[in-house]
Amino acid sequence: NAGVTQTPKFQVLKTGQSMTLQCAQDMNHEYMSWYRQDPGMGLRLIHYSVGAGITDQGEVPNGYNVSRSTTEDFPLRLLSAAPSQTSVYFCASSFGNLYTFGSGTRLTVV
């Protein structure tokens, strides 16, 4: 089915470990973005990309890196995980203002 695919669905990391959250879309959308969802705070924008080779910071970028080498993929990297990064992460792609979200990655940092 067409849409946004996120992997893994669940992950537990130790403080200081690194990992990459994968996101892929097959709708040929130029715009992709990463959000984190914390209780009572809605979704907050981490990084976004308006097309291959172009990325920019959102509201809460610290501790995260992104790259966009292809239209389809937009991975999110945690270089040195911290407990404050325990959250649910959503990737989205959009055409105009119509966003399609992935099903999320639940990350716990211990």
> What residue has token string 């695919």?
5
Among 48, 55, 68, 76, binds another protein (CB under 8 A): 48
CB 102, CB 6: distance < 8 Å: yes
Are the C-beta atoms of 11 and 109 separated by less than 8 Å? no
Residue 103 Cβ vs another protein, minimum distance, rounded to whole Å: 5
Cis peptide before 8 (omega within 30 of 0): yes
Q: Which of 56, 79, 84, 110 binds another protein (CB under 8 A)?
A: 56
Q: Which residues pair with 110 in a beta bridge?
A: none
Binding-site member from 44, 65, 67, 86 for another protein (CB under 8 A): 44
8, 20 Cβ separation under 8 angstroms: no
Q: Which C-beta is closer to another protein: that of 81 or that of 104?
A: 104
63 sits near another protein (criterion: CB under 8 A)? no
Q: Which of 59, 79, 83, 108 binds another protein (CB under 8 A)?
A: 59
CB of 45 to another protein, least distance (A): 6
